Amino acid sequence: MKNRYAGLSDAEAAKLLLKHGPNELQEKKKESLVIKFLKQFTDFLILLLLAAAAIATLLGEDLDAIMILAVVFMHAILSFVQEYRAEKSFEALRRMVSPKAMVLRDGRVDVIDARMLVPGDVVLVEAGDRIPADGVVIESFDLATDEAALTGESMPVAKSAEEESRTYMGTIVVSGKGRMLVEQTGMATRMGEISEMVQSVVKEQTPIEKDLEIMGKQLGVAIVALCAVIFLAGTLRGFEPFSMFLTSVSLAVAAIPEGLPAVVVVTLAVGVQRMSRRNAIVKKLKSVETLGCADVICTDKTGTLTKNEMTVRKILLDDKIVDVSGSGYEPRGGFSVDGKEIRLESGTLPGLTPAAASSAEGGMRGCALSKDKAGHAPWECDLKMLMKTAVLCNNAYLKEEKAGWQVIGDPTEGSLLVLGAKGGTWKESLEAENAAIVEFPFDSARKMMAVVRKDGGKNVAYVKGAPEVVLTLSTRRLADGKTRRLSSGEKEEIEEANNALTAKGYRTLALAYRELDGAKLTQAAVEKDLTFIGIAAMMDSPREEVKDALRLCRSAGIRVIMITGDHPLTAKAIAEELGIGDGSRVVTGEELDRMGQDEFHTKVDGISVYARVSPAHKLRIVEALNYKGHVVAMTGDGVNDAPALKKADIGVAMGITGTEVAKESGDMVLADDNFASIVAAIEEGRGIYDNIRKTVAYLLAGNIAEVGVIFFAVMLGMPLPLIAIQILWINLVTDGLPAIALAVDPIDREVMNRKPRKKGDSIWKGMGIFIFESPAIVTIATIGAFMFDVTRGDMVLAQSLAFTVMVMFEKTQAFSCRSLERPIIRELFANKWLVYTTILTLGMQVAILYTPLLNELFHVKPLGITEWVLAIGLALFVFSYMEIRKWMKYNGKKEGR
């Protein structure tokens, strides 16, 4: 019978390739670019505008139709361009897969395309390789893989042939080498399962999409109802039916805010630029404002709240615990005991060479006194000896790159190099002085590593490993610069101290050494009678700026939930340190599996920390929060985050440490991987939504006033104060330019002191002054001004005055709309673009009134001094009324708090 570990023949591989297909991820059929572009025309408000353009064309109003269609196509093009790259999750997954693989075929080693791998192939892998398929390890030489992107586990995972450890497509070999037997390829792999989940997730509408759709439908119903009332009322009063139909169409043109879709797109696009300056890159335009109403942020731990860089935080020495400051791989930090800082000089302290250590009665040279000549306490020699051992028993390298300090090799070993560098102990200089003789690498059976080096004329073994193993092999200990016998009672005390550290989520390593004195350089002879130095306790450190960011989230009414694939104890320790939740409850993936849907929906609002979760769990958490009515932002950087990133209301991927899959699945990418940038993005999102509401209030206040003027004129049997082209000019140009200026309005200084808006809140909320009171006054004022000149027998002058009154009102209304809640008089000219567009549109109005060609096009004539005084006076009166009403409402709210 053929040995299945001997690899396949080319003929067998060819048959299996036909059976299983290529080792690649299958892509679901995507929409064509044409379909993507046409979908930009499916918004209800856009359909209303298209209907208005069609009616205008049928009635021979070609100019009106062209202007409306120009606005519609500008909206479609801007949205299409922004969203063009939003659906590339699958391509990113394919790029992550190793393109080549070293495989055993027909008894020889060949390099083939990874897509040609089949179940049964034997693949050779080594440090730096990306695993090309799912399989089982059949040969391992210190093999370990980084699975953080797939599972969220921050530590490398050792792979053993004896335990038949599994390897997964897309993970990276960080150390050692080995062979794996391919068992699953393509869509049958874990990566394939995630790909299927990503492609099957249906993205819900963003809050602004829902708001605009509801608003469009409400406007549509109101417009149809008003047109029907006017048509029937006019016909019953004896007006000619076709004339009343034209009037009804004019009313429809007046009621539809033609400029709103374009202004909303511009507002969102400006928000995209603002966010990019604050390191938040948005891919889908309408997702920009979603962060503004997010009330829950689900964040991954590894690489998001933490640096994904192991850091030694505590050192256990004899009867002391030394705290180590600093985070990540940057070799900056210090040491302290009981809050008192320890200053260590760079270089070697006296007595650092273990060859100087004598018997229990002796001591390390220069460290036998309570203080040495340099002022160092004896136990500080123990600390330096621990750092020296950590650096010399180490295969990693610490290098400074343009992007910062990086570790090449195992992250745990890297953290020990950083520890040494903080104390002035650098690998390069020590290795030059202590040449390596033999190394006994770490393996999962021994759980330790030893390196024998030439040190001061003697051979010295430097050892690190699991504390329980190293303690068992130790017979002496280093304390206050002296070596003495290590009793069984002391071993128990050290084990208890170690257990206390691991219970807090720390990963611990013990360090020891031994002078060999002519002993044989075999593993059995070296790894015994060790001198125990101490324990280094490390953890993936939280980012330094995260605490402030979380504090701001709480003040803004945003709940933060931590979701990780790490151990529950590690998750609890980080959550407690950062103040996420109350720290008392950590729910694991297994516990989540045991919860029914109804039970989980009941409990989800009380859970802030999840550990040992899978991609399916993350997706379930997001869905449960959505079910409870929350607007969820999901942050993450790994492949395992992709389905939940896509399902969340807004997915926030990490730009530096994030995988391409996460970046393409998310709606937004943080360029600096800084959790604090999310807070800045939330502030921008809230400001963007505020600006959209300002433009909606501004445009609708004017449109409602226009409808009111025409409606009451018809109902009272008066001539029309405004004609169709004048209404279209007001809506598209006179209103449109200031509306765009409102899109770049500075963010309200109180925006982060408010709770998030609720998911069901209407976009109309708090706009009563603008959509009821102000239009009512303007309607009365405009009809009154119109009748002023009608009674004087000049219809064209009367319409010119009504046209100008509406324009002047729009100018003052724009300034008042800079805040929908409080008076704006003290910040009246803070928006320079609004000032510029006001001057421009007023200049254009004057040109229309005083240029003969434009007089004829717009059916107007020049105004006299009386008409100008009347128009400006009425506009200032309405502005003053609105500011006084806002002042009353704002102060009433303050008193009620």
Residues with a catalytic annotation lie at 300
Whole-angstrom distance, CA of residue 269 vs CA of residue 267 = 5
Q: Output the six-digit token pair for 339.
A: 């809050």
Which amino acid is present at 349? Answer: L
Q: Rounded to the nearest 5°, which phi and psi values hold at 718? A: -95, 160
SS3 assignment, position 820: coil
Helix (H) or strand (E) holding 119: none
Q: For residue 167, what are the CA distances in angstroms to 183, 586, 600, 637?
A: 10, 28, 32, 20
- Is residue 512 within 8 A of residue 449, CB to CB? The reply is no
For residue 508, which of 563, 566, 450, 447 has the smallest C-alpha distance? Answer: 447
Quick one: which of 763, 621, 761, 760 has its CA closest to 690?
763
**Helix (H/G/I), strand (E/B), else coil: 664:** helix
8 A C-beta contact, residue 355 and residue 457? yes
Per the CB < 8 A criterion, the answer to whether 284 and 83 are in contact is yes
Q: Please report the sign of the dihedral spanned by the C-alpha atoms of residue 333, residue 337, residue 339, residue 340.
A: negative
Contact 778, 705 (CB under 8 A): yes
Radius of gyration of the chain (CA): 36
3-state secondary structure 286-319: HHCCHHHHCCEEEEEHHHHHEEEEEEEEEEEECC
357: number of CA atoms within 13 Å, CB side? 27
At 368, which amino acid appears?
A
- Read off the tokens for 58: 């049928």
Hey, is 570 helix, strand or coil? helix
CA distance to 363, 442, 452, 481, 526, per residue, from 460 (Å): 17, 18, 5, 17, 9
* Residue 73 identity: F
Q: How far is CA 892 from CA 567, 886, 888, in A?
A: 51, 10, 6
Strands 335-337 and 320-324: antiparallel
CA distance 561 to 300: 9
CA-based nearest residue to 614, from 150, 268, 290, 192 = 150
Cα separations in angstroms, 874 against 748, 783, 810, 846: 29, 12, 12, 18
Within 13 A of 234's CA, how many CA atoms are on the CB side?
Answer: 25
Q: Which has the closest alpha carbon to 890: 839, 790, 819?
A: 819
What is the spatial distance between Cα 807 and Cα 679, in angstroms, rounded to a whole number? 39
Q: Which two tokens stand for residue 803?
A: 């046209």
Residues 6+ apart with CB under 8 A from 110: 102, 103, 104
Contact between 207 and 761 (Cβ < 8 Å):
no
Residues in contact with 99: Cβ distance below 8 Å, sequence separation at least 6, in sequence order: 113, 114
Q: If we measure between CA atoms, which residue out of 780, 803, 815, 814 comes closest to residue 868?
A: 803
Burial 51-62 (b: 16+ CB within 10 A, else e): ebbebbeeeebe
Token pair in block for residue 466:
């699991």
Sheet bearing 668-670, strands edge to edge: 280-282, 668-670, 650-654, 632-636, 296-300, 559-563, 609-611, 587-588
The packing angle between helices 774-790 and 795-816, to 10°, is 160
